[in-house]
Chains A and B, each alone.
Chain A
Amino acid sequence: MHARKRIEIVVEAVRAEQVTDLLDRLGAPGWTMLPVTAGRGRQGLRRGGDPAGVFDNVLILCIASDAVTDRILAAREELLGARPAIVSVTACEVLRGEHF
């Protein structure tokens, strides 16, 4: 097993492409996007499903090396400019280190 960092970003669906573009630009090996059904935070309850998808959130999951993770976190202004609701980083292990 190989140590890596797991970055989870909850962001509005309309801005997801900004985040994935940033990840691609900073050398992230890949990312996975998952739909979010509902959530609650400082701004109250947020439930998707409106016709325009304005209240839809997605969760972008990215597993990357320490170096790539540091680059992503260093670009915090651009990252936060996309208005993500949550950015979290945790330590994880992966089976095929050469892929991350």
Chain B
Amino acid sequence: MRGRGGPARRCRNGAGYQGRDTCQDPRPGEAGQSRPASAQVARRSASRHCGTVPDLATLLPPPVLFFALGFFAGAVRSDLSVPDALARALSLYLMVAIGLKGGVALATPGAAEGLWGALAGGVLLSLLLPLPAFLALRAATRLDRATAAAVAGHYGSVSVVTFAAAAGILQARGVAYEGFMPAVLAAMETPAILTALLLARAGAPAGQRVPTRRLLREVLLNGSVVLLLGSFAIGWLGGANAKAQLSVFTEGLFPGALCLFLLEMGLVAIRQLRAAGRGLQPALIGFGVLMPLFGAAGGLTAGTLAGLSPGGLGLMTVLGASASYIAVPAAMRLALPEADAGTYVTLSVAVTFPFNVVLGIPAYLWIAGAV
């Protein structure tokens, strides 16, 4: 059954979606669950969140556990390391897989319904989120203008791997989402950078400003955006044929690659925390935890207004909550060299990313009704 022109909605535990936010009683043995069709089950099924409180395996899926493993290994100073080239290759793979899957899904007739609303919501979110972030940082911390603007830009942009982790959970749970969400992800990468630069403009000496052409190239043509949108276009053009050819690559390998990349991110997070964490003001750490919640609320609002399915709404919430740690740091280093890179890299990699991966994603998906 399709709801509101979007992908077929699913309830937790594989139960069928009956519309109006209700789920049918899971049949005995379905999705590994076996329960009597009692009145209690019917009442629980009528609620937006079908089924019981998530179990531990749901709250801590393998990718999250691998992140924790990397964090632990770094904390105890194990010599475990992931080669830089492999980490960057995994990052490339994740972007290709996400883009391809999204493009293939969008090639399905009717799958583009709601695309423009979601895109508009995402771009607006990316443009506007740096404003409250900047004001909060200037009011509550001792950050200079350039660093505050650079940090704010990170929280308006998005994290591909946070999105990948959330998408992986939805995939494992059999929850569908709109195929165009990777395009929304790509569209949300760069507007926040422009907002951050506008906020910092008064603080940048004219002589040190990066030539506009180079900066525009970095902002608009950065690798993440090109790869995401390019893979998306290739998937859309290829459609069902591309899916048939590449499903082993884009779906079979995805969970394992995500686990490896999150292992590396755990190592990076603890390394960054050790290198710059002691210098972080408590207010900044608080910002790194609270700003994702504010961003999540913004994502939830934007996704609701765009009429997304629960899965799509969950991903939009995750996008609002995430902070960039690839595209934006590089752009900020180029455009705002006086901003303290240690602050914004540490916040996004060592505070917000772990918070989102371990605690945020399950909460965001649950609030959106996706799990």
Contacts and interface: CB of A to CB of B under 8 A. Distances in A.
A51 interface: yes
The residue among A45, A48, A49, A52 with the most chain B CB atoms within 10 A of its own CB is A52
B275 A54 contact: no
Q: Chain A, interface size: which category?
A: 10 to 19
B273 interface: no
Given A50-B349, A52-B345, A54-B341, A12 B333 contact: yes
Given A14-B330, A45-B275, A51 B91 contact: yes
Interface string A28-58: 0000000000000000010111111111000
9 contacts: A14-B333, A45-B275, A47-B271, A50-B268, A52-B327, A53-B330, A54-B341, A77-B207, A83-B337
Given A51-B326, A55-B341, A55-B345, 4 more contacts: A47-B275, A51-B349, A52-B330, A83-B337
Given A14-B330, A81-B207, A83-B337, A51 B325 contact: yes
A49 B84 contact: yes
Interface string B246-273: 0000000000000000000100100110
A4 interface: no
B208 interface: yes
By DSSP majority rule, is chain B's interface helix, strand, loop, or mixed?
helix
B130 interface: no
Contacts of A45: 275
A15 B329 contact: no
A14 B208 CA distance: 15
B46 interface: no
Interface in A65-86: 77, 81, 83
A77 B205 CA distance: 14
Given A12-B333, A15-B334, A81-B208, A54 B345 contact: yes
Nearest to B87: A51
Contacts of A81: 207-208
A52 B325 contact: yes
Contacts of A47: 271, 275
A18 B268 CA distance: 28
Contacts of A83: 337
Contact of A50 (B208, B272, B328): B272
The residue among A14, A50, A83 with the most chain B CB atoms within 10 A of its own CB is A50
